[in-house]
Amino acid sequence: MQKIELEIVALSHSITQSNSYAVILGEVGGSRRLPIVIGGFEAQAIAVALENMHPSRPLTHDLMKNFMTSFDIALQEVYICDLQEGIFFSKLVCFTANDTIEIDSRTSDALALAVRFGCPIFVNENILAQAGLENEQVEKETPVSTTAMPQKVNNLESLSLTELNNLLTEVLEQEDYIRAIDIRDEITKRNPPKKS
């Protein structure tokens, strides 16, 4: 079976399933995309790692990485190996000094760990051929909005910088890192980096 390398290209809110998100994986060096619907917790875990945010306490996937690292277990790769009735199955390919071990994993958890370890993500060619879309088809055919994550605050642009900073503090205290990313982006947009 041929393995194709993928990378995370987008994380977005699912239009068809409330409280669900989709991670869009793109073929490295190719044009195909693989959308996978995931839960809110896993979307948040992926977003935190992608944005290099550091929660005050470790999230579950951070704990798993810390555990593995403490026992000299490296995550070598994530392999999306099967698709049955719309559900993706994945394996964590782990490496120790003595052995290589494959561990069954939910794909969403595997992706959250892959981002933390910086390891490659692979998919079986048959799965990509069956469930993948060409880049141009993604916006038309996948049930996700590829725009920014939805906000509980209707329009961040209408808030002052002080209100944005207060809201950012509030959502970080609630550990709502997905909302925090959009708020931080709005603050950054208003305060471009100063040129030296």
Percentage of the chain lying above the pLDDT 70 cut:
84
Sheet strands (E) in 109-164: 121-124, 133-134
Cα–Cα separations (whole angstroms), residue 2 to 75, 120, 191: 20, 15, 47
pLDDT of residue 59: 86
pLDDT of residue 118: 96
Segments of the chain scoring below 70 in pLDDT: 14-19, 135-154, 175, 192-196
pLDDT of residue 94: 97
pLDDT of residue 83: 94
Distance CA 105, CA 84 (A): 14
pLDDT of residue 165: 80
Distance CA 190, CA 192 (A): 6
Tell me if 167 sits within 8 A of 153, measured CB to CB. Answer: yes
pLDDT of residue 62: 93
What count of other Cβ atoms lies within 10 Å of the Cβ of residue 42? 23
Distance CA 20, CA 153 (A): 19
Strand-by-strand arrangement of the 121-124 sheet: 100-106, 87-95, 74-84, 121-124, 3-13, 20-27, 32-39, 133-134
Tell me if 36 sits within 8 A of 25, measured CB to CB. Answer: yes
Distance CA 21, CA 147 (A): 12
Distance CA 75, CA 83 (A): 22
Distance CA 30, CA 33 (A): 9
Inter-axis angle of helices 60-70 and 107-117, nearest 10: 60
Say which residue the tokens 């052995």 belong to. 99
pLDDT of residue 141: 45
In whole numbers, what is the pLDDT of the chain averaged over residues? 83
Q: Which residues contact 174 (CB under 8 A, 6 or more apart)?
A: none
Distance CA 69, CA 116 (A): 11
